[in-house]
Amino acid sequence: MSNRSERLNKLVALLKENKTLTVRRLSEMLGVSEMTIRRDLDTLKSDAIVDRSYGKATYRSNTVVENSFSNYELYSAKIQMNEEKDRIGRFAATLIEPGDVVIIDSGSTADKLARYMPEDMDITVLCYNYNVLSYLINKPLIKLIFPGGYFHPNGQFFESPQGIDLISEIRATKVFISATGVHEKLGITCANNYEVLTKRTALQSAQTKILITDASKFGKVSPAYYAQLNEMDIIITDSALPPEWKNIIEQVGIKLFIV
């Protein structure tokens, strides 16, 4: 099974049916190497589809896919920009320096950043997303701050008034913020209203504001507004960014990295 999108869909179906399967068994069922299965499972884990433990994977019954799609075959739309998000996350991690205090937002691109965070650097990270936290707890030199609060499973997002207060007391050198829509006039938006105050507070608490989002989000508008484009200092996106958006970003005076 060489088509990755097809293979990931099949993985979701097998795990949904069996709940838990070993890497070896999945390798046998799909006819690919165990290394390939592990890479695919990493993708599914980063998008909150499965939980990983030693040598096996378990389907999350409250997964984003189950809540968002009526049929697992539609999952291919969700993973379409996975390689671009991976490049964005990997590059974003190179901007982190020793001694930084970093806030990492929620979202699948933020998950990628968390995966590539330096393991040999003394840094402090505040996060409020379960997937991001699950990567960072395995990096022993990172000092973690997790505000907690009410859990929203569709985005693996935690929020509460007490969490907002904690974020507002932090002074970060960098915040890496995500978006589901970036519009020249209507600003930067996300899918859920419950995210807005947390995102706004994170932006207000950080010295350098870095937007990490794939090119498909530019020109789009989601329901919940949280920032204007000119509030960002840096944007990291992929090479599919339309030329007109390169001009808009340059005119606003934002530093642009295309990866």
Tokens of 69: 């799609």
d(CA 2, CA 251): 43
Phi/psi for 154 (5° steps) reads -65, -25
Average pLDDT, integer, range 30-48: 85
Residue 207 has pLDDT above 70, yes or no: yes
Closest by CA to 144, choosing from 181, 170, 110, is 170
Mean pLDDT of the region 87-101: 97
CB 93 within 8 A of CB 118: yes
Highest mean pLDDT among 18-22, 80-84, 89-93, 138-142: 89-93
What does the pLDDT read at residue 79? 55
The answer on pLDDT for 63 being more than 50 is no
| Residue 67: both structure tokens together | 């809540």
Residue 10: per-residue pLDDT: 82
Counting residues of the chain whose pLDDT is more than 90, the rounded percentage is 65
Check pLDDT > 60 for residue 122: yes
Higher-scoring residue by pLDDT: 66, 13: 13
Neighbour order of strands in the sheet with 50-53:
20-22, 56-59, 50-53
pLDDT grade, residue 70 (50/70/90)?
A: very low
Give me the pLDDT at residue 67, please.
47
Phi then psi dihedrals of residue 32, to 5 deg = -130, 170
CA nearest to 22, candidates 3, 48, 45, 41 = 41
pLDDT value of residue 80? 55
| pLDDT 10s digits, 215-235 | 999 999 999 999 999 999 999
Tell me how far apart the alpha carbons of residues 88 and 77 are, in angstroms, rounded to a whole number: 18
CB 178 within 8 A of CB 110: yes
